[in-house]
Amino acid sequence: MTPDVPGIASNGLNMPALGLGTWELSPDTVEAILPVALEAGYRHIDTAQIYRNEQAIGQVLEDSNLARKEAFVTTKVWPDHYRPDELLTSVEKSLERLRTDYVDLLLLHWPAFSGNGMNPTLEALMRARSDGLARHIGISNFNIEQTERAVAYCGPDVLAASQVEYHVYLGQERLRRVLARNNLILTAYMPLAKARAVNDPVLWEIGAQYGKTAPQVALRWLVEQDRVAAIPATSNPHHARANIEIFNFSLSLDDQERIAALDKNLRLCQPEGLAPEWDD
Ligand SMILES: NC(=O)c1ccc[n+]([C@@H]2O[C@H](COP(=O)([O-])OP(=O)(O)OC[C@H]3O[C@@H](n4cnc5c(N)ncnc54)[C@H](OP(=O)(O)O)[C@@H]3O)[C@@H](O)[C@H]2O)c1
């Protein structure tokens, strides 16, 4: 039996709380791991134009015979395509590669805007939604000030999600409050802190009480929070199956607090020229 992954609802979006991340997965790896993940119960897949694996994902989804509405596919527009006309063309190309008429969620990958600022790009993003290329739209890697500006420009209940780095070593407390206040789902990327959480003795100790591993505890801690989804990546079938087995236990309040105390503001993703000035 495959585990039932709960959905997170916000601003009209209903996103499975756990998805498969695919950054750094080559097309061959996607072709090997995605069928395993679908078999294990994953329905949420996170990709991006820059990952160069949209085509492989589209092929596997088509071959799986899964009804389109059963899958939840996110892709992200790369800043090179932020000029309004280019944004729409680039999304159409993504859809061709993904072999679909729409993505469930379309994000701006980084807040790296040219001289005209973010508004023309946000306008094009909203156009992608009104034209039916994307069911929902959102942002990624925006700091608090940028998030608030984007929400103010688009209006309430338009942006549905923000994808940011979030794991046991990076608390994101202030940004989380801003997202919650504006009804945006937080999709946690690098939810295993790029495998650092796998070797954490505190997480293993906590997991032992529930018959779970450290990575399962790290993921469970995220998805237990209000409107937080996690998208761990793996190329390993055993890990793919294990990472979704997190919906049959709950962390005690004490354990949640012990995990929250692991926060050390560790930020792993800050590419030069793309990353904004982060909030502490
Ligand atoms: N929006 C953005 O700018 C942005 C930036 C970064 C990432 N992301 C998204 O977030 C996804 C996840 O982030 P990430 O891939 O960088 O980091 P991650 O999910 O935190 O960590 C992935 C690493 O953990 C290992 N792993 C996974 N499950 C494991 C398990 N059960 N036991 C032991 N090791 C395990 C994987 O190795 P194995 O292959 O050996 O399992 C891989 O090395 C990405 O794939 C991407 O979709 C988005």
| Residue 163, C-beta contacts closer than 8 angstroms, at least 6 positions apart | 46, 74, 76, 107, 138, 139, 140, 141, 186, 187, 189, 231
On the question of pLDDT at 1 being above 60, the answer is no
Q: Ligand 1: distance of its center to the CA of 234 in Å?
A: 6
Q: Ligand 1: distance of its center to the CA of 191 in Å?
A: 7
What is the pTM assigned to this prediction?
0.98
Residue 257 lies in a domain: no
- The binding-site residues of ligand 1, defined as CB within 6 angstroms of any ligand atom, are 21-23, 46, 109, 140-141, 163, 189-195, 198, 215, 231-236, 239, 242-243, 269
Per-residue pLDDT tens over the stretch 136-153: 999 999 999 999 999 999
Dihedral pair phi/psi, residue 7, rounded to 5°: -95, 150
Per-residue pLDDT tens over the stretch 103-132: 999 999 999 998 889 999 999 999 999 999
Residue 136 lies in a domain: yes
On the question of pLDDT at 93 being above 70, the answer is yes
Residue 255 lies in a domain: no
Q: What is the pLDDT of residue 5?
A: 95
Residue 211 lies in a domain: no
Q: By percentage, how much of the chain surpasses pLDDT 70?
A: 99
Residue 206 lies in a domain: no
Residue 46 lies in a domain: yes
Q: Which of 239, 268, 269 to probe ligand 1 with, by most ligand atoms within 8 A of CB?
A: 239
With the C-alpha atoms ordered 8, 13, 19, 22, is the resulting torsion angle positive or negative? negative
In DSSP notation, 216-249 reads: HHHHHHHHTSTTEEE--B-S-HHHHHHHT--SS-
Q: What is the pLDDT of residue 11?
A: 85
On the question of pLDDT at 273 being above 60, the answer is yes
Domains identified in the chain, total number: 1
| Catalytic residue flag (residue 210) | no
Place of tokens 């984007």: 150
Domain that holds residue 189: 7-194+224-250
Confidence of residue 2 (pLDDT cuts 50, 70, 90): low
User: Which residue's CA is minimally distant from atom 32 of ligand 1?
Assistant: 239
Residue 270 lies in a domain: no
Per-residue pLDDT tens over the stretch 238-268: 999 999 999 999 999 999 999 999 999 999 9
Residue 51 lies in a domain: yes
User: What CATH number is given to the structural domain containing 44?
Assistant: 3.20.20.100
